[in-house]
Amino acid sequence: MIGASERQQYSSEEFLHHMLSTNCYMSMPPSLADKTSDRTPFTQVGRVTNKGKEHQLYNDHCQHALVEEALQETFMKYRRNINLPRLGAWIGPRNERFWNEYGNRFPPATQPARHSILSERILPLPTAIRGALVDVFGLENIKRNKASFLSQPEQKDCLSRIYVGRRQPRSATNTFRLRNFDMTVNEMELLRLPTELYAQTMAETLAVIHWKAKLDANDVEFVLGRAPQVGMRASAAEIAASTEQDVESLSIKIDFYQRSIGIWLLDFDQCKSFTQDGNEIKQLERAFYFNDPYYPRPISTDPKDMGLWKLFKDTYLTTSAAFTTSTMLEQFIAAVEAEGGKRKAGGSLFG
């Protein structure tokens, strides 16, 4: 555990190495813990949409429910390292009480649509981590005005996208922001973060989405954010197959005075179901590449990238085999590798 008093003992790179490793904790005073605990997980959390996009938001709600149910039914060994926002209610335009009481809290452009999803909020990375990200990756003019930059409201909603499938230097000409901070695999390596854990966790999660939820996982996201010290309980089947002592080891203790960093899965509005009609492999392969580059890529000149792909591939196949005996597992992986080869040969930056 790293408290505020110990922060100065570490360089910014060392601090990020410890805090983003997902197994370290930051001490928090009771007053702050009370403000950020998840004892009221749906407080101040609502996603709304613009007029004409209500169906897309409703699809997010429905597919989120499928993924949540699939993860809940999956043994802990396949989902121990992933967090999913707890899904709340779907709020439609006929819920006059809700809109009369809370409608003015949403952006004016979304109020005519009057559709919303309530769900658990993913708490952003703490201020100390945001400051360290500026120290290590920020542009020079931002570093010189660090306090002012960090005080901007849009920089406080900081979740870090983990782009294990992208290796490139950060351009000094690009806009630097902490909201939806993109961290590439080379930057993770600089900070000595557990890239293998990230690849393995994403492979397990993708297998669950494919073969338990029966969705293509199109455009889902994997981010680092603050994780509470309480997670999804073990499934009923896993509890039934365990002794009393074993069940205790599956539980996660609750401590509202500490926070760790965790890997979160979110955004299901583009997900679709797939059926065995002859086009399902292409649908899954397209979804793999349509996503931002979270997953390792199958073709690379860097041996570290190829090692991450092998780990991802092996983990995906092993996990998937626990849910299905279909030959589509190997067909999907083969299609991803074939498309990766085409993209590499064509000079694509997104292969």
- Mapped to the 3 state alphabet, what secondary structure does 311-347 carry? HHHHHHHHHHCCCCCCCHHHHHHHHHHHHHHHHHHCC
pLDDT band at 243 (very low <50, low <70, confident <90, very high): confident
Q: What local confidence, expressed as pLDDT, does residue 36 receive?
A: 45
Q: Count the domains in the chain.
A: 2
Burial class, 141, CB count within 10 angstroms (exposed 0-12 / middle 13-18 / buried 19+): exposed
In terms of domains, do 216 and 335 share one?
yes
Q: What local confidence, expressed as pLDDT, does residue 230 receive?
A: 67
Q: Is the pLDDT of residue 242 over 90?
A: no
For 138-187, the pLDDT digits (tens) are: 999 999 999 999 999 999 989 999 999 999 988 876 789 999 999 999 99
In terms of domains, do 177 and 294 share one?
yes
> How far is it, in rounded angstroms, from Cα 275 to Cα 313?
22
In terms of domains, do 52 and 191 share one?
no
- Specify the 3-state DSSP secondary structure of 188: helix
Reported pTM: 0.88
Q: What local confidence, expressed as pLDDT, does residue 248 receive?
A: 67
Q: Is the pLDDT of residue 136 over 90?
A: yes
For 186-203, the pLDDT digits (tens) are: 999 999 999 999 999 999
In terms of domains, do 108 and 236 share one?
no
pLDDT band at 348 (very low <50, low <70, confident <90, very high): low
In terms of domains, do 210 and 104 share one?
no
Q: What local confidence, expressed as pLDDT, does residue 134 receive?
A: 96
For 16-44, the pLDDT digits (tens) are: 998 898 666 555 554 444 444 444 444 44
Q: What local confidence, expressed as pLDDT, does residue 17 receive?
A: 93
Does the residue 101 lie in any domain?
A: yes
pLDDT band at 251 (very low <50, low <70, confident <90, very high): low
Does the residue 219 lie in any domain?
A: yes
Does the residue 56 lie in any domain?
A: yes
Pair 205, 79: CB distance under 8 Å: yes
In terms of domains, do 49 and 166 share one?
no
> How far is it, in rounded angstroms, from Cα 126 to Cα 129?
5
Mean pLDDT for 105-129 is 82
Domain hosting residue 127, numbered range = 122-344
* Residue-averaged pLDDT of the chain: 85
Q: Is the pLDDT of residue 253 over 60?
A: no
- How far is CA 139 from its chain centroid? 26
In terms of domains, do 62 and 200 share one?
no
